[in-house]
Amino acid sequence: MARVALVIDSTAYLPEEFIKQYGISVAPLSIIWDGVSYRDGIDMQPGDFYTRLQGSRSLPTTSQVTAPDMQNVFERVLASGSQILGIFLSSKLSGTYEAALRAREMIAGAQDKIAVVDSALTTVAMALPVLLAARAAAAGESLADCARLAEEARDHSGVLFVVETLEFLRRGGRIGGAQALLGTVLNIKPLLAMRDGQIEAVEKVRTKRLALRRMLDVTIERIGGRKPVRIAAAHASAQAEAQALLEWACAELHPVETLCCPLSPVVGAHVGPGTVAMAYMAGVG
């Protein structure tokens, strides 16, 4: 049986140690800023990105992975003798998943060698199912079984997040169900989530600290006692808040695994500095 190798996109921002350990290939999205294109996580790192964003008069835009670029990644992995499980950010937020489907069609004889999964998520919420699938692949599971596990993990995962302002989501056209919160007074912090691959408004909270606490409460409600629990926190230049949130979650939920990492520049371009997210995967793996 051929080895199964994972291909993901850069918005998952999986820590480098896992990328190396499981031989995961990353297809980067792009940030376009003042006429220059940067590959997410390669030419533009989170630290540099958020520092520049804070003082910039111009705002960056983003671009999906193209089908030809995805084809190049697929062909490189196939040349190693591996089959491919591709897991990509929500198709309702980006055309990257569709580009992966097109890339598979562009490679002769690849239909049975490449499985493509729409995570319906992004950031660390996508990283948790990716890790589960990568471990199954490392254990010798078949391509079909790894893909089924990724889909099951996706259906047992979720993410909530708090932004400093809805302006970045509005400008990027990703505001979805949070549209109703536009115009909210400045001292109200919106609690948002992803549902069915799109952003939705959960509720409005008076301060950032209360919003973070409420985010944990809603996470606990949505997990509903399922075990095992895995938790990941992510942030846009707000590491202390993300780490504190993760510590609260550990005390309440006793997860078997945790992650804390920055949001990739492409994601940060849409949510803005100060964003804090909490992802969970429960009842699988």
pLDDT at 32 over 70: yes
- Least confident range from 115-119, 167-171, 225-229, 255-259: namely 167-171
pLDDT at 2 over 80: no
Closest CA to 63 of 94, 42, 22, 108: 94
Residue 200 — very low, low, confident or very high, per pLDDT cuts 50/70/90? Answer: confident
Residue 50 — very low, low, confident or very high, per pLDDT cuts 50/70/90? Answer: very high
Peptide bond into 46 cis (omega under 30): no
pLDDT given at position 175? 46
Mean pLDDT of 63-79: 98
Report the share of the chain in percent with pLDDT over 70: 93
pLDDT at 177 over 90: no
Closest CA to 159 of 49, 40, 263: 263
Residue 1 — very low, low, confident or very high, per pLDDT cuts 50/70/90? Answer: low
pLDDT given at position 70? 98
Q: Which residues contact 55 (CB under 8 A, 6 or more apart)?
A: none
pLDDT given at position 109? 93
- Quote the DSSP letter at residue 44: B
pLDDT given at position 174? 47
What is the overall mean pLDDT for the chain?
Answer: 92
Mean pLDDT of 85-91: 98
Higher pLDDT, 189 or 227: 227
CB 117 within 8 A of CB 150: yes
Most confident of 13-27, 47-61, 163-177: 13-27
The predicted-structure confidence for 214-268, as pLDDT tens digits, reads as follows 999 999 999 999 999 999 999 999 999 999 999 999 999 999 999 999 999 999 9
Centre a 10 Å sphere on the Cβ of residue 135 and count the other Cβ atoms it contains.
16
**Tokens linked to 97:** 């998943």
Report the share of the chain in percent with pLDDT over 90: 81
Domains in the chain, please, with CATH? 4-29+64-154 (3.40.50.10440), 157-282 (3.30.1180.10)
Q: Are strands 198-205 and 257-262 parallel, antiparallel or unpaired?
A: unpaired
pTM over 0.75: yes
Residue 167 — very low, low, confident or very high, per pLDDT cuts 50/70/90? Answer: confident
pLDDT given at position 183? 46
Mean pLDDT of 130-138: 98
Question: Is the torsion defined by CA of 121, 124, 128, 134 positive or negative?
Answer: positive
